[in-house]
Amino acid sequence: MLDYNSQPKFHERVAAVLDAALQAERDQQAARTYLGASRLGVACARALQYEFVQAPVDPERELPGRTLRIFEVGHTLEDLAIRWLRLAGFEIYTRRQSGDQFGFAVARGRVRGHVDGILAAGPAALSMLYPALWECKTMNDKNWRDCVKRGVALSKPVYATQIAIYQAYMEPAVPGISAHPALFTAINKDSQELYFELVPFDAALAQRGSDRAVQILQATDAGELLPRIAHDSSHYECRWCNWQERCWSKQA
């Protein structure tokens, strides 16, 4: 006798079909061949090295379709934020005339970054300085509230490092962008609440991020594996790492 309760529900079957399509689409995308500057604030150098050389993630860490949907929602919210800023009087540029994102490439193209936007003007009442970098992130309610409470530098150091590096490396193409605070925007995905923060250029943080990139490139070229962030695989950073099993195995 069939146990109908054990069969996937209709909505689960539909979601599974959609997720399979998203995963198939992702599998067709060209692999990144450079070190993303947005990731240089990650605490563990070895994890960044694995990411750079495209080491296969642990099987249980493969991105499920639901996560891919979360990513797409984030991109859509970013597009909405651009519309809202323009509606409010900001002059924001997100792509070159060619259609490509604004960005930079250094170290013979092995380190690259793509900025969310560049602000050229805005409402006079805000007394902002231009040009200014615009960086947008979407977060769940818990992370958003922590960011509001503590600010991006303390709450999200990876994002803060990204902003500093982008301000530094975009300066040749957009003179003055590092002299003016960036506008960091965080969207609460649960409530659509908005948080804005002016982030002055932190040259020391940008230099640390740049040094991290050099460290990863040099170690990779030399065939060296960089040290782990911890001495135990149960460390909280390791528990969330896509390469935990690989890192702590004898074949690491």
Ranges of each domain in the chain: 64-220
Higher pLDDT, 2 or 36: 36
The pLDDT assigned to 1 comes to 45
The pLDDT assigned to 5 comes to 61
The model's confidence at residue 3, banded by pLDDT at 50, 70 and 90, is low
Q: Which CATH class is domain 64-220?
A: alpha beta
Give pTM, 2 decimals.
0.88
The model's confidence at residue 4, banded by pLDDT at 50, 70 and 90, is low
Mean pLDDT of 23-49: 87
Each residue of 78-137: pLDDT tens digit?
Answer: 999 999 999 999 999 998 878 788 999 999 999 999 999 999 999 999 999 999 999 999
Is the pLDDT confidence value at 249 over 50? yes
The pLDDT assigned to 61 comes to 72
Each residue of 147-170: pLDDT tens digit?
Answer: 999 999 999 999 999 999 999 999
Rounded to 5°, angle at Cα 100 from 98 and 103? 125
The pLDDT assigned to 113 comes to 94
Q: Is 151 helix (H, G, I), strand (E, B) or coil?
A: coil
The pLDDT assigned to 250 comes to 56
What string of DSSP letters covers 39-94?
Answer: GTT-S-HHHHHHHHTTPPPPGGGSPPHHHHHHHHHHHHHHHHHHHHHHHTT-EEE-
Lowest mean pLDDT among 61-65, 196-200, 209-213: 61-65
